[in-house]
Amino acid sequence: MKSSIKFKGKFKNYIYMPMMLPIILVMFNGVLYIKDVSTGAMFSGIILFYMLILVLFYRNYKPKLAQEMVNFATQYGTVQKKILSEFEIPYVLIDYNAKVLWCNEQFMKVTEIDKGYHKSISALFPCLTKELIQKSTPVESMNMTLDERSYRVSMRRLYFEELTEGSGILDGSASTEYLTAIYLFDETEINRYIKENREQKLVAGLVYIDNYDEALDSIEEVKRSLLVALIDRKVNKYFSGIDALVRKVEKDKYFIVFRYKYLEQLKADKFSLIEDVKTVKVGNEMAVTLSIGLGAEGTGYNQNYEFARMSIDLALGRGGDQVVLKEGEEVYYYGGKTQQVEKNTRVKARVKAHALREIIESREHVVIMGHNISDVDSLGAAIGIYCASRELGKKAQIVLNEVTASLRPLVECFSPEKGYPADLFINSEEALLITNKNTLVMVVDTNRPSYTECPELLKRTNTVCVFDHHRQGSEVIENPVLSYIEPYASSSCEMVAEVLQYFSQNIHLEPAEADCIYAGILIDTNNFNTKTGVRTFEAAAYLRRAGAEMTRVRKMLREDMSAYKARAEAVRHAEVFKHIFAISICPAEGLESPTVVGAQAANELLNIAGVKASFVITEYSNKIYISARSIDEINVQVIMEKMGGGGHLNMAGCQLVDCSVMQAKNMIQEILNNMISEGDIKI
């Protein structure tokens, strides 16, 4: 029977190439006839004989050659299938609807199925759904767990167009369907080694006793060594449970090192040491508090220690009695539920005053700014720094973008008619023009760069000083040459008043300047009802001697009728949540300083019996402002930090963008519910 098999492509060219040779020989034979007819005739016979043999060969051996090619292809396909079937990596082929078409032996071994399994892959792996397989954007890799083993799933789409190209059987060019090849890579052992390697990493820590000197001063001298011994025992016993190395480096400082695998245990325990150490009582009236700074996930031991040092500075800057963990780029806070301990000594204030004097003397120009939408405390502290600069003969200017109704009576006291420079108050644009590398930028009443009147100003100079009484958060002003942050202080004005007393022996304050600084203390302490200590009244007494007049200040701080009505409206419509939280919305229409009114309303709500914390929401300038207040039991600062804000234990706030009033309210309620369920708030 005549063979109908035809060759094509490169193989056809290769097979039929010998048949092209006679054409070349015929051309050569023509040359021989010209030279010698007998030789040409003989060569023609040879050509005819060669062509006869070639024709007979192709006629008889072409079917056999084709059969050998088919046999080779069959054997090659069988070998491929055998190799794939015995492939060490589990492999499965599924169709467009996620049904299993074929799988190799390793896949059957892993999933315990047989060759006849043609059900959905989702029955074996619930995460590999039909919707996932058919997603417009293919998922190339994912992780999953099967029988306590971890697998990395690698998926590749095989489109029919690619599979049928050149086959001569199917035309898949118009098809959008595809098959999916899935490989399972067992990464159980790799993940175990990675986990063990991570768990063996070291975590560096620093433990400081916040009020060491104050606690010892409150007991008899013979009992002091006992108190110290009990604290040492508490610290060593707590960390010995996690196989930690504890070394006392100073009388009130410890250095600790432990393995990373114990960090989760400490987190779950919520670092109970900071609460346990408060139970140490040997006649001391003041409870001992600790601050702990931990550093982990650094590139080496030195960086972990640096993280720990940064964490302990942050913990102390936030008032102590808490744990700060810096894990790579993330910062976590634990504790911080008690009121900060006021330091009786003024050594720190004196040191900061002398340092500030040296810095101002070395600069040509001083630019002072507080937080945006400045309040009385921010303005009073700025005026205090202006007075210090004036004492040294340095030009000082205050950045004030907006003069609100609450600030206007105070700002009017510093007009050119009353002897003050016309450019005492400038806006951000003017400040940017006059600030250079030889300018001191003084930031008061905030330590967050994004909260300042002009954040770009901080980048125009290398000399930045910070005076603030708010707890530090994750966002801080980088590399200030002088940082004076005291969370126990009632206000920035109190801190500035103390510094002015040590700044110069003959520093003089005008009555209007003393009034302004005194007003800042008055507002932030809610008429000396909140966060007041001995040093608060001492600062007020100094300002009184400098010429501050209480009646005059009270008149300047009076509010208009619209603000009073708005505050009353916020109190009237307050809702009580969980029986102890008052949440209200303050109207902002027609008010020049709605955020101030919101803060006043939050203070008013604390006068209601049973209310332990108040939250007033104010919408202003496309932002949501939240003022949070408490008396003593609830730490509103922790609540506000969860919303991106901060502040103090009983006075805090935050600012939200791209958020509605109702969303902010729901966010507060959700956070309160979570903290109650986790035991952070007890009702």
Q: In the chain, helix, strand, coil percent, each to 5?
A: 45, 20, 35
The one-letter amino acid code at 379 reads L
pLDDT at 562 over 50: yes
Q: By the 8 A CB rule, do 390 and 400 touch?
A: no
Q: What is the mean pLDDT of residues 306-330?
A: 86
Give the containing element (helix H, strand E) for 656. Answer: strand 651-656
* Per-residue pLDDT at 15: 66
Q: Give the strand order in the sheet containing 141-146.
A: 100-103, 91-94, 178-186, 149-159, 141-146
The one-letter amino acid code at 255 reads F
Q: What is the mean pLDDT of residues 557-577?
A: 89
Per-position b or e across 84-95, b if 16+ CB within 10 A of its CB: ebeeeebbbbbb
- Integer Cα distance of 651 and 91 in angstroms: 61
The one-letter amino acid code at 417 reads E
91-194 CATH fold: Beta-Lactamase (3.30.450)
Average pLDDT, the chain: 85
Give the containing element (helix H, strand E) for 314. Answer: helix 301-317
Partners of 577 in beta bridges: 581
pLDDT tens by residue, 652-667: 889 898 889 999 999 9
pLDDT tier for residue 7 given thresholds of 50, 70 and 90: low
Site of tokens 């400081």: 208
pLDDT tier for residue 322 given thresholds of 50, 70 and 90: confident
Q: What is the mean pLDDT of residues 90-96?
A: 85
Q: What percentage of residues in the chain have a pLDDT greater than 90?
A: 36
CATH annotation of 561-677: 3.10.310.30
Partners of 70 in beta bridges: none
Q: By the 8 A CB rule, do 482 and 406 touch?
A: no
pLDDT tier for residue 337 given thresholds of 50, 70 and 90: low
Per-position b or e across 227-244, b if 16+ CB within 10 A of its CB: bbebbeebbeebbeebeb
pLDDT at 359 over 80: yes
CATH 1.10.3720.10 fits 347-556, yes or no: no
The one-letter amino acid code at 390 reads R
Q: By the 8 A CB rule, do 338 and 289 touch?
A: yes
* Per-residue pLDDT at 169: 42
* Per-residue pLDDT at 592: 77
pLDDT tier for residue 170 given thresholds of 50, 70 and 90: very low
Sign of CA dihedral 607, 611, 614, 617: negative
pLDDT tens by residue, 372-383: 888 899 999 999
200-335 CATH fold: Alpha-Beta Plaits (3.30.70)
CB-hemisphere CA count at 13 Å for 72? 6
pLDDT at 107 over 80: yes
Residue 485: both structure tokens together: 């942050």
**Among 55-59, 270-274, 593-597, the range of highest mean pLDDT:** 270-274
Please indicate, yes or no, whether the overall pTM of this predicted structure exceeds 0.85: no
**Among 285-289, 290-294, 345-349, the range of highest mean pLDDT:** 290-294
CA-to-CA dists, residue 190 to 153, 194, 198, angstroms: 15, 6, 12
pLDDT tier for residue 164 given thresholds of 50, 70 and 90: very low
**SS3 (DSSP) at 624:** strand
Looking at the chain, how many residues does it have?
683
Residue 357: both structure tokens together: 């004097």
* Per-residue pLDDT at 338: 57
Q: How far is CA 185 from the centre of its chain?
A: 32
- Integer Cα distance of 384 and 25 in angstroms: 112
pLDDT at 550 over 60: yes
Site of tokens 């600012």: 655
pLDDT tens by residue, 183-218: 888 888 888 888 888 888 999 999 999 888 888 888
Residue 632: both structure tokens together: 């003593």
CA-to-CA dists, residue 260 to 206, 294, 295, 333, 335, angstroms: 15, 11, 10, 17, 21
Q: Taking Cα atoms as reference points, which of 497, 500, 469, 487 lies closest to residue 354?
A: 500
- Integer Cα distance of 679 and 683 in angstroms: 9
